[in-house]
Amino acid sequence: MDLNLESQRSLERIITDLDLTKLSAAEREVFKQRLLEHFPRLFSLLFDIYAQQYDFYYYLQNLIQGLVNNYAQRAEVLKAKDNTRLNDPHWYQHEKMLGMACYVDLFADDLLALKEKIPYLKKLGVTYLHLMPLYESPEGDSDGGYAVSNYRKVNKTLGTNADLAALCKALANEGISLVLDFVFNHTSDEHPWAEAAKAGDTEFMGYYHMFDDKRIPEQYEQNLREIFPQVRRGNFSWSPEANKWVWTTFNNFQWDLNYANPAVFNAIVDEMLYLANLGCEGLRLDALAFIWKEMGTSCENQQKAHSLIQAFNCCLQIAAPAVVFKSEAIVHPDEVLKYIDKQECQLSYNPLLMALIWNTLATRDAGLLTESMIKSFPISPDCAWVNYVRCHDDIGWTFDDDVAQNQGVNGQDHRYFLNQFYTGRFEGSFATGVAFAENPSNGDCRVCGSLASLAGLEQALELNDKQLVKHAIGRILLVHSIILSIGGIPLLYSGDEIGLTNDYSYQQDSTKEHDARWVQRIALSDEAIAQSRLANNPQNKVATGLQKLIDIRRQHSVFGQGQTHILPLSNQAVFAYARRNQKGQELIAVCNFSEHPQSITRAALGLDNGGLWQDLLQDNRPETPPERIEILPYQVMWFLS
Ligand code: GLC
Ligand code: GLC
């Protein structure tokens, strides 16, 4: 069968039947234009997934009508934004981009209060704000909002839909792009779809993966990981209301959606476009690796998961092209890369860089970081990494075991060491972290803790040791310098900008005590901010040091669009890379990952071309670098050509 022909035929039929009455004449033209451009791809992606479904065409037709309706509802300013972004598709690669992720309530109580804090964000230089899930969700434990009961309703503890609309507008006026979570792998068990499924409505039972007994789940289970083994073993939960086993990759109240059902795809496209029409410019694709299940596989990173995400992206290109996707694939580095494409996710978290930054702080050896980045940092020039050091989640020790092997490192043993190191069980460690999701069967775990605590500030303050405090601050600034300069959008995690240490109060809260990730979900109080403004205390040194790095980044286009080259060095305590842009500007970044001074030749860094170089972090003039460059403990240098 000729797929192109079928696609064309379907498109013609669909267009004839489309109800375009809600669009103006000009909008009809725009819509048709985009449909012509993107339909063939959308068709072939969906055909690949749903062609077996006898009523595939019905769902396709429905989907396109849904796109029309959502486009009709898109505000004029957002349609204008669509054009601006289409004319400047690489806007997210700009050197002025700076991200921050925060919880509405921890950052500012509620949405209205957050609006009042926009000046704080502006002062830092934030241009991209990721608000953790703010939708209606179950009371008590809702996995920090990642169990959504209604995508269209703001959680009442955070405010109202009108408050969110007002905030969106205010952010847009200040040039801050809003990023929202697209939690599309699962809904909460209180979502109306789940409630209907519990009540035996077969239409909605088909939205989830439900089983009468454990026979099929057990077959799947043979190849599945466990994500939260500390709260529940396996990937299925018994629902007494539904009288069924339900697929629940995460908590038992997070029901995985069944994307083998085209009705689910269409319904979620509608929810997605609702979020797009709120005015967000980025959607964070939560847990995207898990959306397609295939018996006999790990049910992660399946080819059809990619097809689905690309199909979602096609829908955006037609109805709301200002919005980009950010991949949250916390999986093997080779698999992370597969989600990154202009037609899939334009942005992606960089979990490998994150994990290996922590690894290098622990080992004082940048070998694994260097080799891994040489292999995995390059991505399409149309896309961008979102580089981060901490986030609301745990740290899993992701790296490629073969690369580790090359470095003489045994992956499994090394992960054990890193867990020991960062949970303070390793003699001489500077870190104060908490073990998370310990698997009683195999002892695996992951690590939680705030950036400052993991970098040694908590311990140093407790011991009241000036030298250790100095080292901790050095580490905090060093790791931030990397995400600010290596290429991509740097994403700060709220609280880290003033070096907040662990908050153990979750241990007293029955809805949180089983989830150690709360240790790094810390309220940013006015007192803490005031404290950070007092000269010479450690938080102030973190805040001012970071602000300086941010301000320098904003001033030089070499931090924006360009290419990164990792520089392998014989001195493995040092990590270095070059950044080059089309204007011929070059930046060489050098980081000393140890508490001892290091020295390195200028030739090894490529600084021996006879030109003048200026270290942007020292207040000196451009000069010919000395033959040997001395780098102080945890010092960073940014040489600009
Ligand atoms: C993502 C979120 C995490 C959540 C999980 C399930 O990994 O970052 O916080 O627990 O998805 O939604
Ligand atoms: C994500 C990640 C996993 C992470 C979890 C929640 O699904 O794959 O590594 O730990 O969510 O924290």
**Rounded mean pLDDT for each run of 10 residues along the chain, 641 residues in total:** 94 97 97 98 97 95 98 98 97 98 97 98 98 97 97 98 96 97 98 98 98 98 92 93 97 98 98 97 98 98 98 98 98 98 98 98 98 98 98 97 98 97 95 92 91 98 98 98 98 98 97 96 96 94 98 97 97 97 95 98 94 91 94 98 93
Residues 6+ apart with CB under 8 A from 374: 566, 568
Which pLDDT does position 232 carry in this prediction?
Answer: 84
Around Cβ 416, how many Cβ atoms within 10 Å? 15
C-alpha–C-alpha distance, residues 557 and 580, integer Å: 10
Residue bearing the CA closest to ligand 1, atom 4: 146
C-beta separation of 513 from 411 below 8 A: no
C-beta separation of 250 from 229 below 8 A: no
Any atom of ligand 2 within 6 Å of the Cβ of 330? yes
**What φ, ψ does residue 359 adopt, rounded to 5°?**
-60, -45
Around Cβ 603, how many Cβ atoms within 10 Å? 12
Q: Which of 163, 256, 286, 344 is catalytic?
A: 286
> Per DSSP, what are the bridge partners of residue 448?
434
Residues 6+ apart with CB under 8 A from 516: 394, 434, 435, 436, 448, 506
Helix, strand or coil for residue 329? coil
**Alpha helix segments (H runs only) across 210-327:** 215-221, 262-278, 303-319
Residue bearing the CA closest to ligand 2, atom 2: 330
Residue bearing the CA closest to ligand 1, atom 8: 393
Place of tokens 């290996």: 356
Which pLDDT does position 1 carry in this prediction?
Answer: 85
C-alpha–C-alpha distance, residues 140 and 155, integer Å: 12
C-alpha–C-alpha distance, residues 458 and 452, integer Å: 7
Residues 6+ apart with CB under 8 A from 335: 289, 300, 301, 329
Any atom of ligand 2 within 6 Å of the Cβ of 264? no
Given phi > 0 = left and psi -120 to 50 = alpha, else beta, which region is 312?
Answer: alpha
**Among 183, 256, 354, 394, residue to substitute to test ligand 2 (most atoms within 8 Å of Cβ):** 394
C-alpha–C-alpha distance, residues 545 and 562, integer Å: 25
**465 is a catalytic site residue:** no
Residues 6+ apart with CB under 8 A from 265: 46, 49, 50, 59, 63, 259, 308, 311
**Among 181, 227, 517, residue to substitute to test ligand 2 (most atoms within 8 Å of Cβ):** 227
Q: Which of 328, 344, 394, 496 is catalytic?
A: 328
Which pLDDT does position 419 carry in this prediction?
Answer: 97
> Per DSSP, what are the bridge partners of residue 135?
154
Residue bearing the CA closest to ligand 1, atom 2: 286
**Residue 446 Cα: closest atom of ligand 2:** 10
174: amino acid identity, one letter: E
Around Cβ 445, how many Cβ atoms within 10 Å? 24
Residue bearing the CA closest to ligand 1, atom 7: 287
**286 is a catalytic site residue:** yes
C-alpha–C-alpha distance, residues 538 and 470, integer Å: 8
**Among 393, 436, 445, 520, residue to substitute to test ligand 2 (most atoms within 8 Å of Cβ):** 393
132 CA distance to ligand 1 centroid (A)? Answer: 10
